[in-house]
Structure 1
Amino acid sequence: MVSFIRKFSVFAFISIAILAIIIVVPFSIIKQKARFEISDSANIVMFGHSHTECAYDDEIIPNFKNLASSGESYFYTFQKIKKTLSQNPEIETVFVEFTNNQIDKVMDEWTWGYDKMSFYLPVYLPFLEYQDVEILNDNNASTFRSTISVASRKNLFRFLKSDYDYSDEIGGFTSLNVSAVDRILDTMDTNIQHNKTYSTSNVNLHYLRKIIDYCRSEGKDVFLVRTPQHKKYKMLKNEEQFLSVRNSQFSDIDFIDFNNNNLPNTYYADLEHLNGKGATVLSKKFKQLLEGGLISSKEKFFIDRTFHYLISE
């Protein structure tokens, strides 16, 4: 019996050691060798979720790179920003999407819910700090544990293939070639009363502050920007709360607000995303503003100095 226990202990120790090597070694090497390089000519970058991804065409805007990714919460954006800025010293200015749904409690699900964690964690797990891991584990331990196994397997394959290039996995402009707003509005029941009580995601807002502080610590200029949303988009019902969060927590950051523009329905893919036509118009306006001194200007673009009704053909 003693001999069996001894042999089992040795087997268990060796198994754990092998498992640790399989997980820890690839993660450690990936963390050191991961490449997040972007175009050498881009000294302006923008991060965000799908609103941003579908709105700013970096083929139109010079010296600019859109690094937004659909469904991405600030938790994962923070990991991406740390790697991107550290490996692209030519970046001088960072724009970060700040819009209505990003303050909402739904962002908790975007951080540790199954769909988002299973998609983003395998990409960014090697770069998480201990406190980041704690947040995921404390809020959704079962999904975190199952995703760890998937992430470990994917990163082991990455390690074995020496595939350390993340440039195709960190976001980019996507043009939506649809215009479904009229159809959506025709099927909406305008008599439905939306009595939802909107609450905020403290975790998401915490990571937005971490993003801002990190950018500043790296000597980068940082701006918040809100992309146009259709006036019938349901999340705009938290506008009062959104402005309150903006004024109470982020009043120290220049805020460029494109939201309240009189864009026609044909410029939207749906009620929250611009389509390719809308993206072209917005990108040209953004280019014009950059060339007009948006970044270099000492004037503050706070919420009461938004770019209303400036976008046109």
Structure 2
Amino acid sequence: MKKFIKNSVILFGIVMLLVVSLVLITHFVTRQFFDYTIDQNKNILVVGNSHLEYAIDDDIIPQAFNIAQSGSGYFYSYLKVREIANRNKQIDTVVLGYSYEDFSEYRVNWFAGEDKIKFKMRDHFFLFTSNDYWELLKSNPRSVITNTPQVIVHSLKVLYKGYPYLGGHVHSDRSKLEESLKRYDPNYYINTTAKPPKYQDTYLLKIYDYCNRNNIKLILLNSPIHPKMDEDLQTNKELYCDFASQNMPEATLINYSNYFQDETYFSDISHLNDNGAQIFSTHLKQVGFYSGTAECLK
């Protein structure tokens, strides 16, 4: 029995050593050989979650490179800004999704939630430093440890597929507005704590600091949402405005949340369909990212 236990411990140790070695090797290989290059004519990096993923068509705005992705908290946007801008020196502007919804309390789970760790860590792992991994590990040790082995395969997939694995504009022809209005509960999105969600504020400020240190203009963009949602989330607006003005005074805050009053431009209550994205992107192309309304309640 003792021999069996001893052999089992040795075997477990060998397996763990092999897994750790493969994680480190694939991380190193992907990080070193991933093609970070973007077109030299693209000086605007667009990052954020599904709001900008659906709203900004970078085929219409040739100087923009959209790498926003659904379900991405500011932690993953920070990794993208830090690693991609550092390797593409023509980037002088970062457009970051910044919405009333980003101050919803449930956004805490976009960093530490098990589902987010499972599906986000694996594709972005090659962008991690040891400190990034440690911070995520502290937030949810069990989930990070159990999901780490999957990065071995996914890192190689990302290396092969490139940027499409990390985000990009989505042409949406779906029509789920009626369904989403029926399921919509404004209380889910309203912040009742009068403070930003944990982790979101930390990595939002890291993005701001990185841009300031590297002379990159940061634009905080609130993209169009359905009029019903825009009305309900005015509750979050004061926090949204105050956090930007008090903590990111050098950033440009642009609010387009009420840009469309006609609901035919939405695929659901918070995302534009392809027609809406084309109109909105054409507007941004014409006026530039520096124009728009930035009024805030005090």
Which TM class, normalised by the smaller chain length? 0.7 to 0.9
Match of 1:112 in 2: 112
Tell me which residue corresponds to 2:253: 255
Where has structure 1 moved over 4 Å in runs of 4 or more? 1-17, 182-185, 187-190, 192-197
Q: CA separation in 2, counterparts of 1:269 and 1:35?
A: 33
Give the equivalent residue in structure 2 for 1:72: 72
Structure 1 equivalent of residue 219 of structure 2:
223
Matched residue, 2:101 = 101
> 1:117, CA displacement in angstroms?
1.2
Match of 2:126 in 1: 126
Query: Offset at 1:118?
Result: 1.0
Deviates more, 1:97-106 or 1:35-44: 35-44
Change (3 A) 1:227 1:195: closer
Q: Could you tell me which of 274, 281, 286 is aligned with 1:283?
A: 281
Residues 105-114 or 238-247, more deviating: 238-247
Q: Would you say the 8 A contact 1:35–1:164 is kept in 2?
A: no
SS at match of 1:109: helix
Give secondary structure in 2 for the equivalent of 1:232. helix
Looking at structure 2, the residues matched to 18 and 154 of structure 1 have their Cα atoms a distance apart, in angstroms, of 17
Find the counterpart in structure 2 of residue 310 from structure 1: none
1:51 aligns to 2:47 (yes or no):
no
The aligned counterpart of 1:149 is 149
Other structure's SS at 1:303 match:
coil
After TM superposition, list the pairs within 5 Å mapping 1:163-242 onto structure 2.
163=159, 166-181=162-177, 185=181, 187=182, 198-199=192-193, 200-233=196-229, 234-242=232-240
Distance 2:5 2:176 in 1: 67
Opposite residue 53 of structure 2, the aligned amino acid is E
Contact 2:60 2:281 in 1 (8 A): yes
Root-mean-square deviation (CA, aligned residues, Å) is: 3.4
Give the drift of 1:122. 0.8
Deviation for aligned residue 1:272: 0.8
Separation (CA, whole Å) in 1 of partners of 2:214 and 2:150: 33
Structure in which a larger fraction of residues adopt helix = 2
How far residue 98 of structure 1 moved from its aligned partner, in angstroms, is 0.6
Rounded to whole Å, the distance in 1 between the matches of 2:206 and 2:253 is 17
Correspondence for 1:90: 90
SS at match of 1:222: strand
**8 Å CA contact retained: 1:57, 1:280:** yes
Shift of 1:147: 0.9
Contact map agreement 2:104 2:189 (CA 8 A) in 1: no
Matches within 5 A, 1:263-282: 263-282=261-280
Write the deviation string for residues 118-163 of structure 1: whole angstroms up to 9, x where unpaired.
11101222332333223322222111111112223433xx1xx894
The residue aligned with 1:304 is 295
Q: What SS class does the counterpart of residue 275 from structure 2 fall into? A: helix
Distance in 1, matches of 2:200 and 2:111, equals 8
Query: How far does the alpha carbon of each residue in 1:213-252 deviate from its partner, in whole angstroms, 9 at most, with x for none?
Result: 1123233222111101122115443223222322332233
Q: What code does the residue aligned with 1:274 have?
A: L
Q: Which residue of 2 aligns with 1:311?
A: none
Cα distance change of structure 1 residues 180 and 20 upon mapping to structure 2, 3 Å threshold: closer
Percent identical across equivalent pairs? 24
| Higher mean C-alpha deviation, range 67-76 or range 268-277 | 268-277
Computing the radius of gyration from Cα coordinates, the structure with the larger value is 1
Mind listing any 5+ residue stretches in structure 2 that lack a counterpart?
Answer: none
Say whether the 8 Å CA contact 1:79–1:128 is kept in structure 2: yes
Deviates more, 1:214-223 or 1:276-285: 214-223
Give the letter for the 1:261 counterpart.
Answer: Y
**Matched-pair contact (CA < 8 Å) for 1:67–1:173:** yes
Tell me if structure 1 keeps the 8 A contact 2:44–2:63.
yes
Partner of 1:31: 31
Normalised by the length of structure 2, the TM-score is 0.84
One-letter amino acid matched to 1:230: H
Structure 1 residues 14 and 39: alpha-carbon distance in aligned structure 2, compared to 1, 3 A threshold? same
Indicate the SS of the match to 1:136: helix
* Change over 3 Å in CA distance of 1:5–1:148 after alignment to 2: closer
Count of residues paired in the alignment: 293
Q: Deviations over 1:25-66 (max 9, x none)?
A: 222222222222223321112111111011111121122121
Unaligned runs of 5+ in 1: 307-313
Counterpart residue type for residue 130 of structure 1: S
Q: 1:188 to 1:220 in 2, by over 3 A?
A: closer
Between 176-185 and 58-67, the greater mean CA deviation after superposition: 176-185
